[in-house]
């Protein structure tokens, strides 16, 4: 791949983000027939901004990688990421806007009239934000490593620096425009190359992707393994090895490996002949690729369980993501918030049609990525692999630009939210200086953890943040909006037990503490048990503390559910009526 | 290996978070009540204990004398007095009873208290109880007074007649009375703020209405369409400014009212007044105190146009800053001596300055706390820039119906 184009594209995206963010599309006019109120953010623009902020590295790179390795069962991911907005639309969007809350902590305080509940909610906002930032930075590292060969921490550092710099230096002045721009950039970056790739694939005789059998290598392929892996063979395989297999050192020797499991030392190169079947990478407990194994099937019960876990986490977790919730504040009223969500559903749905195609094409043209453990790179290498030449380089650069747009937009949205909550509720006093300090803290922690944390496919890592959000904020929002007997002790107990247990399970799994088999499946997909646990705790503890129902509950619920024209919080503009 | 490192990093993050949390709590508490330096003599300790108990009873009473506040206060007051039972009444009915014997004594309280309520003096009398086992034999009634005379009574029950109890009950009743007077003071302060908002509304009217109508009149023949538009602006502007109720409004509405104001001012001053608006659409839904920007803009226009020779540019900007919205109003006019400005903000009104700036400053501080007051940068001949930082969310701040 030609590095120059890719580096230029990434630089252009970074510059565009910083410039639009810093200067903004300045609304600068004199007063002549110009009404500020009619300039509120339209649902279409706001929806593009929400989508831009939402579509992260997991969507842009991760899904294709998972489909490549595990097959079409992974399409539950895009389905879940999209359907989360349906739940948000039906249950939460309009009341959340009408509550007047900016962050989720504000909502907890407004609904429960309890500063303690606010502080607890803030801790979860920060936790979920960090959990979500971590894969963004790791994905950036991977992308830059593939593009330029830089060490894998450079990309994460670059994104962290750009985001911290722009956010701390006076914030993103016109964040809505930046994020909306990023959405359209990401959609273009994924849509244009796929058209060329599909044309080439059709010209190639439209080979079918095989997910039920080992993938077949199409050309003479040399695979260099960075990590030590175990591979499983069903039939004898002839490869040319430079390095060490099964503790025997070879130098450019052709070896025939017998069926069974083989141990390949890190740094070994395997050269496959055209038409050779690709060996499976055997899963081990701490193997990052073993993560989604239950979802892809095989063992009884695991697949069904993991699928439900994924569905629950993504369907119910979207509403509790800190950077999604704050964007609803921009809508002028509840009805606009609902319309915005509807448009988001369309925009996000359209985007998610594409990653699956990349995954299938990757299975045909670049299956060896599954062996090296960098399947997340499938989207980036495909143009070079299928088209090659200048066109391949240009399209590859476009994809790299889109990937960086994904890291930057999601990371800046998350950093803003986390830093805002840190300044308001965690750091001792407020002020501009503390906001900068908080921004630094917001990116430094995931960056530091990212250097030491085990590599997990980005889509899975993001799924963990969804699971925690679904078990903590989903019960709080749904019960807070729809149940008048919720009490502060109930809400706090539910947050701690539901969200806390999901967080503990997720952290333990990421730290590799979970034993194999069922315990691992249960802890890697906690939503199935932790979401009901959160709801049940909230309901039971609330019922047990009926005296603690906040006195303002009826008034707040009325405000949440009645349209603004009735409660009179948004006046009808006279000028527009008359003209 | 990496798993352990991850766990360690996660633990470090958690510790860091907890440390920040504790630091925050500590900083918030520092400057409040200082801890006892040493334990002191028994007498001192008893004094501390009494003062502490008294301070516990103060917050509920600061909200005035109602059934709920009386119930909360009665318990601490009884432990302060150390009596068998304690009862708080207002002028008509029993508000709260703490201690045993409520069932057969409560009905007699109004007659016990009647004399004190009428005379405003303390009184000790037999409780008139027939039950020999009942410990409530004597009742001491002390008046609770406010600015307008007796508000209610405190009735303390003891097992025997005691001059100490009479003295103690009278002193406690006097202390409660002070708290109730403070509550009245709070209420009257709120009323003053409301009156100031009304005054602000009234302040807009005379000059501005006269000048606007005169400016509109000048267009009636030459440019009837413009005159019609200006009249509509005028109607909308006055309707918004004179709305009856509500302490808060959305930034979008405030800005629309300001635009109407500027359109009317522009009709009068023509090309001499130039206005630039830079509004981030993200902050338009922010809720802020009603009419808190209008006086700033009026001030900017007044300052800017005081120099008759050249024109003036007023820049109004609203931008998004995380959990806050930052609104700035800037003019390139004659500016102001900072010392004079300080006097205005302190509430001393030298000749010629309105109550606009200090009123806005006071209301912002009252709603959002001291750190959200006006920030003004100015100097003589250097123009003036006023910055307002409004949190996007604050409990109890909701836009109200127009």
Q: Write the secondary structure of B314-340 as one string of H (helix), E (strand) and C (coil).
A: EEEEEEEECCEEEEEEEECCCCCCHHH
Instruction: Say if residue B331's pLDDT is above 80.
Output: yes
pLDDT of residue A268: 82
Residue in chain B closest to A447 (alpha carbons) equals B9
User: Residues of B with CB below 8 A from A330's CB?
Assistant: 281-282, 285
Picking from B368, B378, B401, the residue whose alpha carbon sits closest to that of residue B388 is: B368
Facing B284 at nearest CB: one of A26, A30, A37: A37
Look at A26 and B23 and tell me if their CB atoms are within 8 Å.
no
Ranges A250-259, B108-117, B216-225, most confident: B216-225
The answer to whether A141 touches A153, Cβ cutoff 8 Å, is yes
Q: Is the per-residue pLDDT at B164 higher than 70?
A: yes
Hey, is A206 helix, strand or coil?
Answer: coil
Q: Which of B297, B323, B390 to mutate to test the interface with A (most CBs of A within 10 A)?
A: B323
Asked whether residue B350 carries a pLDDT value surpassing 70, the answer given is no
pLDDT band at A537 (very low <50, low <70, confident <90, very high): very high
In this prediction, residues A9-32 reach a mean pLDDT of 67
Vertex B25, ends A480 and B325: CA angle to 5°? 60
Instruction: Give the domains, in start order, of chain B with CATH numbers.
Output: 54-187 (3.30.450.40), 223-391 (3.30.565.10)
**What mean pLDDT is predicted for residues A195-211?**
86
CB contact under 8 A, B27 and A511: no
Reported as a single tens digit per residue, the pLDDT across B252-299 is: 888 888 888 888 888 888 888 888 888 888 888 899 988 888 888 888
Tens of pLDDT, residues A62-85: 889 888 888 888 888 899 999 999
pLDDT of residue A39: 65
Which A residues, 385 through 424, put their C-beta within 8 Å of a C-beta on chain B?
A: 416, 419-420, 422-424
Among chain A residues, CA nearest to B314: A30
Alpha helices in A366-429 (DSSP H): 369-372, 378-386, 389-421
The answer to whether the CB atoms of B285 and A332 lie below 8 A apart is: yes
A-contacting residues of B 256-315, CB under 8 Å?
A: 256, 259, 262-263, 266, 274-282, 284-285, 287
Residues of A in contact with B293 (CB under 8 A): none
Residue A199: other Cβ atoms inside 10 A: 12
Q: What is the mean pLDDT of residues B224-230?
A: 89
Q: How far apart are CA A476 and CA A537, in angstroms?
A: 11
Query: Do the bridges between strand B312-321 and strand B273-279 make them parallel or antiparallel, or are there none, so unpaired?
Result: parallel
Residue A290 in contact with partner chain B when CB distance is under 8 A: no
Q: How far is CA A159 from CA A133, A327, A434, B139, in A?
A: 11, 22, 21, 76
B216-235: average pLDDT: 89
Question: By CA distance, what is A127's nearest residue in B?
Answer: B14
Confidence of residue A204 (pLDDT cuts 50, 70, 90): confident
**Closest Cα in chain B to A38:** B252
Q: Measure CB to CB from residue A449 to each of B10, B28, B284 and give the nearest one.
A: B10
User: CA dist B190 to B195, B242, B366, Å?
Assistant: 9, 19, 10
Cα dihedral: A345, A350, A352, A356 (round 10): 150
Q: How far apart are CA B65 and CA B95, in angstroms?
A: 9
Tell me how far CA of residue A363 lies from CA of A64, A145, A208, in angstroms: 9, 22, 9
Residues of A in contact with B5 (CB under 8 A): 452-453
Give pLDDT, residue A473: 95
pLDDT for A567: 66
Query: What is the per-residue pLDDT across A241-297, written as a single tens digit (0 to 9) for each?
Result: 888 888 788 888 888 888 877 888 777 888 887 777 777 776 544 444 444 555 554
* Model pLDDT for residues B44-81, shown as the tens digit of each residue: 888 888 888 888 877 777 777 877 788 888 888 888 88
CA distances from B384 to A30, A282, B276, B289 (A): 20, 71, 15, 22
Q: How many residues are there in chain B?
A: 402
Q: Residue A288 has what pLDDT?
A: 45
Q: With beta carbons less than 8 A apart as the criterion, state whether A269 and A308 touch.
A: no
A574 contacts B287? CB cut-off 8 A: no
A166 Cβ contact list (under 8 Å, min separation 6):
A17, A18, A21, A22, A172, A412
Specify whether the CB–CB gap between A142 and A57 falls below 8 A: no
**pLDDT, greater one: A532 or A565:** A532
**Chain A residue nearest residue B255, CA to CA:** A36
pLDDT beyond 90 at A316 = yes
* B contact residues 216-235, partner A, Cβ 8 Å cutoff: 232, 235
Digit-coded pLDDT (tens) for A459-501: 777 888 899 999 999 999 999 999 999 999 999 999 999 999 9
The 10s digit of each residue's pLDDT in A327-368 is 888 888 889 999 999 999 999 999 999 999 999 998 888 888
DSSP-assigned states of every residue in A517-530: SHHHHHHHSTHHHH
| Run of H or E residues at B124 | strand B123-126
Tokens of B304: 């800017």
The sign one gets for the Cα dihedral A375, A376, A381, A385 is positive
Per-residue model confidence (pLDDT) at position A28: 42
Whole-number pLDDT of residue B402: 46
CATH number for the domain whose boundaries are A3-24+41-204+285-567: 1.20.1730.10
- B287 to chain A: which residues are within 8 Å by CB? 100
Residues of A in contact with B256 (CB under 8 A): 35-37, 573
A569–B321 CB contact, under 8 Å: no
pLDDT in tens, A406-459: 888 899 889 988 988 888 887 766 666 777 888 888 999 988 888 776 666 777
Per-residue tokens: A322: 């800190």
Residues of chain A with pLDDT > 70, as a percent, come to 87
Q: Rounded to an integer, what distance in angstroms lies between the CA atom of residue B319 and that of residue B322?
A: 10
Cβ separation of A330 and B239 shorter than 8 Å?
Answer: no
Percent of chain A at pLDDT > 90 equals 29
Nearest CA in chain A to B266: A31
Stretch A390-394: mean pLDDT: 88
Residue closest to A320 by CA, chosen among A46, A81, A504, A125: A125
pLDDT at B150 (0 to 100): 83
Q: Does A453 touch chain B (CB under 8 A)?
A: yes
**Bridge partners of residue B2, in order along the sequence:** none
Neighbours of A429 (CB within 10 A): 11
The region of weakest confidence among A403-407, B57-61, B380-384 is B57-61
Residue-wise pLDDT tens digits, A80-126: 999 999 999 999 999 999 988 999 999 999 999 888 999 999 999 99
Q: Which chain B residue has the Cα nearest residue A436?
A: B322
Closest to B229 in 3D by CA, of A577, A38, A579 = A579
Chain B residues near residue A431 by CB distance under 8 angstroms:
371
- Which residues make Cβ contacts (< 8 Å) with residue A233, sequence separation at least 6? A257, A258, A259, A260, A261, A262, A279
Q: Does B322 touch chain A (CB under 8 A)?
A: yes
pLDDT band at B30 (very low <50, low <70, confident <90, very high): low
What is the distance between the alpha carbons of residues A477 and A483, in angstroms, rounded to a whole number? 10
Point out the least confidently predicted range of A59-63, B30-34, B93-97, B247-251.
Answer: B30-34
Residue of higher predicted confidence among B138 and A571: B138
Q: Which pLDDT score is estimated for A420?
A: 85
Cβ within 8 Å, pair A173-B397: no
Composition of chain A by helix, strand, coil, percent to 5 = 70, 5, 25
User: What are the extents of the domains in chain A?
Assistant: 3-24+41-204+285-567, 221-277
pLDDT of A548 reads 87
Judge contact between B2 and A411, C-beta under 8 A.
no
Question: What's chain B's average pLDDT?
Answer: 79
Whether B34 shows a pLDDT value over 50: the answer reads no
Q: Which residues of B touch A34 (CB under 8 A)?
A: 259, 277
């Amino acid at each position: 791949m030609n590095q120059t184009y890719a580096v230029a594209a990434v630089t252009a995206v970074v510059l565009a983000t910083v410039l639009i963010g810093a200067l903004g599309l300045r609304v600068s006019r004199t007063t002549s027939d110009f009404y500020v109120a009619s300039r509120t953010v339209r649902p279409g623009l706001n929806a593009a901004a929400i989508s831009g902020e939402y579509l992260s590295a997991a969507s842009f790179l991760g899904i294709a990688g998972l489909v490549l390795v595990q097959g079409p069962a992974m399409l539950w991911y895009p389905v879940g990421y999209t359907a989360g907005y349906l739940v948000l639309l039906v249950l939460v969007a309009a009341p959340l806007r009408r509550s007047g809350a900016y962050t989720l902590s504000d909502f907890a305080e407004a609904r429960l009239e309890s500063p303690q509940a606010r502080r607890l909610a803030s801790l979860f906002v920060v936790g979920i934000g960090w959990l979500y930032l971590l894969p963004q930075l790791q994905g950036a590292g991977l992308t830059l490593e593939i593009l330029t060969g830089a060490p894998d921490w450079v990309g994460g550092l670059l994104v962290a620096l750009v985001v911290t710099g722009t956010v701390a230096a006076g914030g993103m002045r016109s964040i809505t425009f930046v994020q909306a721009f990023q959405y359209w950039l990401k959609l273009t970056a994924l849509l244009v190359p796929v058209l060329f790739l599909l044309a080439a694939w059709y010209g190639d005789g439209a080979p079918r992707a095989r997910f039920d059998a080992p993938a077949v290598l199409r050309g003479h392929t040399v695979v260099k393994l960075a990590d030590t892996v175990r591979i499983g063979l069903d039939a004898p395989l002839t490869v040319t090895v430079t390095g060490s297999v099964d503790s025997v050192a070879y130098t450019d020797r052709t070896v025939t490996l017998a069926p069974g499991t083989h141990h390949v030392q890190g740094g070994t190169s395997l050269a496959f002949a055209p038409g050779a079947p690709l060996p499976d990478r055997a899963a081990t407990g701490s193997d990052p690729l073993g993560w989604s194994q239950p979802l892809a099937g095989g063992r009884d019960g695991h697949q069904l369980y993991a699928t439900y876990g994924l569905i629950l986490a993504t369907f119910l977790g979207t509403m509790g993501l800190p950077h999604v919730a704050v964007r609803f504040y921009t809508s002028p009223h509840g009805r606009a918030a609902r319309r915005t969500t509807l448009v988001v559903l369309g925009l996000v749905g359209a985007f998610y049609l594409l990653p699956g195609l990349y995954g299938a094409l990757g299975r045909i043209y670049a299956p060896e990525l599954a062996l090296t453990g960098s399947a997340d790179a499938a989207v980036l290498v495909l143009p070079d692999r299928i088209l090659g030449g200048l066109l391949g380089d240009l399209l590859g650069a476009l994809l790299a630009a889109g990937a960086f747009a994904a890291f930057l937009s999601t990371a800046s949205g998350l950093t803003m939210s986390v830093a805002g909550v840190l300044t308001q509720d965690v750091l001792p006093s407020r002020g501009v200086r503390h906001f900068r300090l908080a921004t630094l803290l917001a990116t430094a922690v995931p960056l530091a953890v990212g250097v030491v944390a085990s590599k997990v496919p980005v889509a899975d890592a993001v799924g963990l943040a969804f699971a925690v959000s679904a078990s903590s904020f989903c019960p709080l929002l749904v019960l807070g909006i729809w149940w008048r007997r919720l009490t502060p002790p109930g809400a706090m107990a539910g947050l701690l037990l539901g969200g806390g247990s999901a967080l503990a399970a997720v952290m333990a799994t990421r730290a590799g503490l979970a034993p194999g088999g069922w315990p691992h499946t249960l802890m890697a997909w906690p939503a199935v048990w932790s979401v009901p646990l959160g709801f049940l705790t909230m309901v039971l503890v609330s019922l047990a503390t009926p005296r603690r129902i906040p006195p303002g509950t009826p008034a707040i619920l009325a405000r949440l559910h009645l349209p603004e024209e009735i409660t009179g919080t948004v006046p009808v503009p006279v000028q527009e009526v008359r003209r | 290996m990496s798993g352990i490192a991850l766990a360690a990093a996660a633990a470090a993050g958690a510790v860091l978070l907890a440390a920040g949390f504790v630091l925050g709590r500590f900083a918030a508490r520092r400057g409040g009540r200082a801890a006892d330096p040493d334990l002191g003599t028994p007498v001192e300790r008893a004094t501390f204990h009494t003062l502490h108990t008294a301070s516990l009873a103060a917050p509920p009473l600061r909200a005035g004398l109602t059934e709920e506040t009386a119930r909360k206060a009665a318990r601490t007051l009884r432990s302060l007095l150390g009596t068998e039972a304690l009862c708080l009444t207002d002028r008509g009915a029993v508000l709260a009873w703490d201690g045993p014997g409520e069932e057969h004594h409560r009905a007699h309280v109004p007659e016990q208290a009647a004399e004190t309520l009428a005379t405003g003096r303390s009184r000790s009398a037999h409780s008139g109880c027939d039950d020999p086992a009942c410990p409530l034999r004597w009742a001491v009634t002390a008046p609770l007074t406010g600015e307008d005379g007796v508000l209610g009574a405190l009735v303390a029950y003891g097992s025997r007649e005691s001059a100490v109890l009479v003295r103690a009950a009278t002193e406690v009743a006097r202390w409660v009375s002070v708290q109730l007077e403070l509550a009245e003071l709070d209420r009257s302060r709120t009323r003053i703020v409301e009156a100031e908002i009304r005054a602000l509304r009234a302040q807009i009217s005379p000059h501005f209405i006269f000048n606007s109508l005169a400016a509109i009149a000048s267009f009636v023949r030459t440019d009837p369409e413009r005159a019609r538009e200006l009249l509509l602006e005028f109607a909308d502007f006055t309707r918004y400014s004179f709305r009856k109720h509500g302490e808060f409004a959305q930034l979008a509405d405030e800005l629309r009212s300001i635009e109407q104001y500027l359109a009317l001012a522009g009709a009068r001053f023509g090309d001499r007044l130039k206005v630039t608006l830079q509004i981030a659409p993200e902050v338009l839904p922010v809720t802020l105190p009603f009419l808190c920007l209008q006086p700033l803009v009026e001030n900017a226009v007044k300052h800017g146009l005081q120099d008759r020779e050249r024109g003036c540019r007023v820049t109004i900007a609203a931008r998004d800053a995380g959990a806050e919205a930052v609104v700035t109003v800037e003019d390139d006019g004659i500016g102001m001596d900072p010392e004079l400005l300080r006097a205005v903000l302190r509430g001393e009104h030298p000749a010629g300055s309105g109550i606009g700036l200090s009123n806005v400053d006071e209301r912002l501080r009252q709603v959002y706390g001291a750190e959200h007051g006006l920030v003004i940068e100015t100097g003589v001949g250097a123009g003036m820039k006023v910055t307002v930082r409004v949190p996007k969310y604050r409990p109890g701040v909701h836009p109200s119906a127009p």
